[in-house]
Structure 1
Amino acid sequence: MKRGQHHGALRELLIDTALGLLDREGVEAVTIRAVARASGVSHAAPANHFVDRRALLTALAVQCFTDLRAGAAAARDAASQSPRARITAFADAYFAYALAHPNRYRMMWRMDMLDPHDARLTELVDGLYAGIEQDVLALPGAPDDDATTLLIALSSAVHGYVAMRIDGNFVAAVDTASGKPRHVAIVERLLGP
């Protein structure tokens, strides 16, 4: 640990440094030793906060899901009271986060690298669509009691489109029928008329 470095601040320094490495070089570059070196601390210093690489990556995923969830929820809450507008605003913010942080987004869904038993991560992933279920149930013609199938369809479509954009399979485009960005048109099409 650097001289004068407060123990509680070290964890945040390590996470910030790891996020920088992740953004620049991808998940493969994020190791305990690389993060320690880039943070200017001994390679043993992170052991007080992260027992292994999986714990470090899980902490990064928790931070990323927190940021994604907060931004998407804020967009949803700022939209009009129309359920359709709120769902579309949420999806638009989700899409914007993923394209702005492609390496973070890829890592967030790498459950083979993360601790699937981490309570914070589980709560954030499970709660990602908090509030959207009520919006789905409020759509005209929605089922009375279960929005799960439509939520899974929306999640799958948004996630799939985002992944294909990040990987270069699709480019930014406008839907010819609606004139809206393609990702918005996809969501609106799934929501129906």
Structure 2
Amino acid sequence: MPAEARPYHHGNLRAALLDAAERSVEKSGTEQLSLRELARVVGVSHAAPRAHFTDRQALLDALAERGFGRLGAQLKVARDGAGPGFGERLRAVIAGFIAFANSRPVLLDLMFSAKSYGDKAQLPAAAETLAVVYDLIGDGVAEGALAPGDPERYGLLLYSWAQGLASLIASGGLQPEVADSLVSDAVSTFIRGNAAG
């Protein structure tokens, strides 16, 4: 259909653009992402995406926000489905993070490199997702499993470690089945190294 004949309106254009953007990013990376191309894929005029995203960066930020929302939901399910012990909950959350990272590696890179990452006003889902681990660390301190300390510092260490492990798996440098035992070992080591006196 020629561009001039494409409709401007769409039933749920924002969601359709984000779906198409996520597929494009996972297939070709963020550098190839174009609002004009997404409009073509979705079947609307090239001007239609501007009603939802002022520019490419706004689309990338929205995609990162959506990714953080999904990751946060996955981490909560992992935490809530784990056993009652702090170590069990922490293992489940870290394993949930790694599973998400392995299923959407490019999206995860985008999420943690988003220009507005850390800006709670711009990416509130990022703060909510990080809070899942920070709150869990707080629980560990309250339960006496961890020595008192800064939950954000503990959390950032865990996220950094988990993201590195996920990168090794994604690059083929580590088999996923090895990661499971490494998660258990690392969480045990983390708890022992930061145990309350």
* TM-score using structure 1 length: 0.83
Q: 1:142 aligns to what?
A: 146
Partner of 2:114 in structure 1? 111
1:115 is displaced (CA, Å) by: 6.9
Query: Compared with structure 1, are the counterparts of its residues 118 and 58 closer, same or farther at alpha carbon in structure 2 (3 Å cutoff)?
Result: farther
Is the Cα contact below 8 Å between 1:55 and 1:115 reproduced in 2?
no
Q: Which one of 7, 13, 17 corresponds to residue 2 of structure 1?
A: 7
Identity among equivalent positions (%) equals 28
Task: Measure the CA separation in 2 of the matches of 1:120 and 1:86.
Answer: 29
Q: Give the secondary-structure state (helix, strand or coil) at the position aligned to 2:174.
A: coil
- Cα distance in 2 for residues equivalent to 1:191 and 1:37: 51
Take 2:107 and 2:81, find their aligned partners in 1: how far apart are those partners?
A: 25
Aligned ranges 1:90-101 → 2 under 5 Å = 90-101=93-104
Matches of 1:58 and 1:4, distance apart in 2: 23
Pairwise CA distance, 1:188? 2.8
Look up the match of 2:165. 161
In 1, Cα distance between the equivalents of 2:84 and 2:119? 36
Residue type matched to 2:127 in 1? D
CA-atom RMSD, angstroms? 2.4
The alpha-carbon distance between structure 1 residues 5 and 47, as it changes in their structure 2 partners (threshold 3 A), is same
Q: Which runs of 5+ in 1 are unaligned?
A: none
**In the TM superposition, what is the alpha-carbon distance from 1:23 to its structure 2 partner?**
2.0
Instruction: Classify 1:39/1:118 alpha carbon distance in 2 versus 1 (closer, same or farther; 3 Å).
Output: farther
- Equivalent position SS for 2:161: helix
1:45 alignment partner AA: A
Aligned length: 185
Deviation at 1:21, TM superposition (A): 1.0
Instruction: Give secondary structure in 1 for the equivalent of 2:7.
Output: coil
State the Cα distance separating 1:119 from its structure 2 match. Answer: 1.9
Return closer, same or farther for 1:120/1:132 CA change in 2, 3 Å cut-off: farther
Give how far 1:94 is off.
0.7
